[in-house]
């Protein structure tokens, strides 16, 4: 909707900028200007200045600059017209309409917002009533204190009573039905409260208004989670849970995570090391991705460490790639198997979450990894299939320059794989290596385990020995899967250290093999501890093992040691 420029200018002059900013920042007058702590970055010495006469603010610390409309947009996450309407309301002015609005639709939306606000208050009070005591105990058991309950406005929906409470405040059944807080029975046409005996999570828009609810069942009721239906205030694909709270966290320069559920968002925010939002029970939509990028240029998508989480990661990649823009991307983090963010924070605290964030993969690495994991790249036909697949995904990127940059990176990686293959041919005189005879025996398997233990402890040894490592075969499927996963991870990211490599392997069903390598039996047989060796010594040990693994014996005898 177009608004006449003269109206915008009149609007700016009607409301002093210091009045608007002063609602969020404690300002001190200094001559013709006001000064205070900047709301856009953390600081202890005021560097934020407001000049009413000229209608602008400026921060000498972070460079933030703008007028009343831009301040409302940045602090409240509003679109341009939403900020104009907010400012017009402060000034007592009416925004000129370029097209007539449906009065009934406008009235119904306002009524719905009023009903949802009153409903949120009713549910909040429910935690203090006797019939809500079990919900209060549940939330306390999840480690949620009074402050976080108030911040997210959590509550309890009793088995009945909401409709009567809203009726007593003058709201009609028709408006309650439109707001989605009551429903009509298909069986007998009777009206009933939609949310009953559930912990309630109010869903807010970017202005902090309640527009819908999410609800978690207490006990065995199904479905476990229930959302409001689409209505005059709510479109699920356009909303991210926790937006308002995340915006406050980002002002403290915290990383932004995208989690899968309400409790994950709240737990992450409560940790103090990150802030978070979540889609509402669906894969990320295009609209939600656009909203994410208004909050942060590179959010971290944090998925549960199970098969469903890996599927969600793949869907997110497919949804993100076509939308990429210069400077707008994401990173993907995978949690330990069987854990969600709430579990991780309970077991390892904020440090555990920070470790996950620090090892999050770039989009290109995640794409490369997820496609490579489905194939055996030692086989030429499967390498070709992999190259075709990753190139096809890159072609989905809509922005020309971003697509070209991704294509250049992919071709460089493919060229590196080809070069490694040509190096093998040169080193073997052009001959195709003969298949190794599969001959598992006790001495050989321990040598192969020692090789895996060394590359896990010293990933930097892998690139120079890539082909040699791929050609040896322990005849142990689980150990080979671990070795291949470790080699693939290091080839994709040569900068991985031991801790980061271990994190990458956590969700790949190789933990049993790692446990064997770290078990007492293996420690008793090995003449060295891989983790205590220098890089140079570890390299010598690995080279000797690769030489011996063809059949030499004695390395794991009680007296033999590997030369240093």
Beta strands in 2-143 (DSSP E): 28-30, 33-36, 48-51, 56-59, 65-66
Q: How confident is the model at residue 428 (pLDDT cuts 50, 70, 90)?
A: very low
What percentage of the chain carries pLDDT values higher than 70?
91
Q: How confident is the model at residue 80 (pLDDT cuts 50, 70, 90)?
A: confident
Rounded to whole angstroms, the Cα distance separating 108 from 138 reads 35
Strand-pairing partners, residue 331, are: 300, 362
Q: How confident is the model at residue 455 (pLDDT cuts 50, 70, 90)?
A: very high
Residue 517, classed as helix, strand or coil, is: helix
Per-residue model confidence (pLDDT) at position 95: 81
Rounded to whole angstroms, the Cα distance separating 132 from 465 reads 63
Mean pLDDT check: name the lowest of 352-366, 399-413, 423-437.
423-437
What are the backbone dihedrals phi and psi of residue 57, each rounded to the nearest 5 degrees, phi first? Answer: -120, 155
Q: How confident is the model at residue 443 (pLDDT cuts 50, 70, 90)?
A: low
List pLDDT tens digits, range 288-315: 998 898 888 899 998 777 777 777 778 8
Enter the pTM of the model: 0.64
Produce one character per residue of 108-134: b if its CB has 16 or more CB atoms within 10 Å, e if not. bbebbbbbbebbbebbbebbeeeebee
List pLDDT tens digits, range 83-120: 888 888 888 888 876 555 667 888 888 999 999 999 99
Q: How many residues does the chain have?
A: 564
Query: HSE-up of 142 (CA within 13 Å, CB side)?
Result: 21
**Are the beta carbons of 553 and 479 closer than 8 angstroms?**
no
In a 10 Å sphere around its CB, with 0-12 CB exposed, 13-18 middle and 19+ buried, how is residue 529 labelled? exposed
Q: How confident is the model at residue 507 (pLDDT cuts 50, 70, 90)?
A: low
Per-residue model confidence (pLDDT) at position 535: 86
Mean pLDDT check: name the lowest of 2-16, 211-225, 228-242, 536-550.
2-16
Chain centroid to Cα 472, Å, comes to 38
**Are the beta carbons of 57 and 50 closer than 8 angstroms?**
yes
Average pLDDT, the chain: 84
Per-residue model confidence (pLDDT) at position 550: 55
What are the backbone dihedrals phi and psi of residue 277, each rounded to the nearest 5 degrees, phi first? Answer: -135, 170
Per-residue model confidence (pLDDT) at position 12: 76
Over residues 417-442, mean pLDDT:
46
């Amino acid at each position: 909707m177009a608004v006449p420029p003269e109206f915008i200018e009149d609007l700016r002059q009607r409301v002093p900028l210091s009045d608007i900013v002063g609602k969020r920042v404690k300002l001190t007058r200094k001559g013709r200007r006001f000064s205070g702590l900047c709301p856009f970055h953390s600081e202890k010495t005021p560097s934020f200045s407001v000049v009413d006469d000229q209608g602008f603010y400026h921060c000498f610390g972070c460079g933030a600059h703008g007028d009343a409309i831009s301040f409302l947009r940045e602090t409240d996450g509003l679109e341009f017209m939403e900020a104009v309407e907010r400012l017009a309301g402060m000034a007592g002015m009416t925004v000129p309409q370029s097209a007539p609005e449906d009065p009934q639709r406008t009235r119904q939306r306002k009524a719905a917002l009023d009903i949802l606000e009153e409903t949120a208050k009713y549910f909040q009070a429910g935690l203090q009533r006797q019939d809500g005591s079990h919900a209060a105990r549940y939330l306390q058991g999840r480690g949620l204190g009074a402050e976080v309950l108030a911040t997210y406005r959590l509550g309890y929906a009793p088995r009945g009573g909401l409709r009567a409470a809203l009726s007593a405040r003058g709201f009609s059944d028709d408006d309650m039905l439109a707001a989605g807080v009551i429903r009509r029975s298909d069986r007998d046409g009777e009206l009933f409260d939609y949310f009953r005996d559930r912990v309630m999570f109010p869903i807010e828009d970017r202005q902090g208004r309640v527009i819908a609810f999410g609800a978690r069942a207490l006990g065995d009721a199904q479905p476990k989670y229930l959302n409001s239906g689409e209505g005059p205030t709510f479109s699920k694909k356009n909303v991210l849970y926790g937006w308002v709270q995340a915006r406050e966290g980002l002002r403290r320069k915290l990383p932004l995570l995208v989690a899968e559920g309400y409790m994950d968002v709240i737990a992450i925010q409560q940790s103090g090391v990150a802030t978070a939002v979540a889609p509402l029970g669906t894969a990320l939509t295009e609209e939600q991705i656009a909203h994410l990028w208004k909050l942060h240029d590179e959010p971290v998508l944090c998925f549960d460490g199970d098969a469903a989480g890996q599927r969600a990661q793949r869907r997110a990649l497919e949804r993100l790639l076509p939308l990429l823009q210069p400077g707008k991307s994401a990173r993907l983090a995978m949690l330990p198997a069987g854990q969600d963010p709430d579990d991780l924070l309970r077991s390892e605290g904020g440090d555990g979450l920070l470790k996950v964030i620090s090892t999050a993969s770039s989009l290109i690495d995640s794409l490369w990894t997820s496609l490579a994991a489905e194939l055996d790249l030692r086989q030429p036909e499967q390498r070709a299939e992999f190259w075709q697949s990753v190139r096809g995904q890159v072609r989905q990127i809509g922005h020309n320059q971003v697509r070209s940059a991704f294509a250049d990176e992919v071709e460089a990686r493919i060229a590196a794989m080809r070069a490694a293959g040509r190096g093998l041919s040169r080193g073997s005189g052009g001959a195709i290596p003969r298949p190794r005879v599969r001959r598992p025996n006790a001495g050989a398997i321990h040598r192969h385990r020692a090789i895996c233990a060394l590359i896990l402890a010293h990933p930097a040894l892998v690139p120079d020995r890539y082909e040699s490592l791929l050609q040896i075969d322990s005849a142990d499927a689980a150990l080979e899967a671990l070795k291949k996963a470790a080699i693939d991870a290091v080839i994709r990211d040569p900068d991985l250290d031991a801790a980061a490599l271990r994190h990458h392997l956590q969700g790949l069903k190789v933990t049993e093999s790692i446990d064997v390598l770290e078990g007492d039996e293996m420690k008793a047989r090995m003449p060295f501890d891989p983790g205590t060796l220098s890089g140079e010594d570890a390299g010598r040990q690995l080279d000797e093992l690769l030489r011996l693994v063809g059949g030499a014996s004695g390395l794991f005898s009680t007296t033999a040691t590997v030369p240093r």
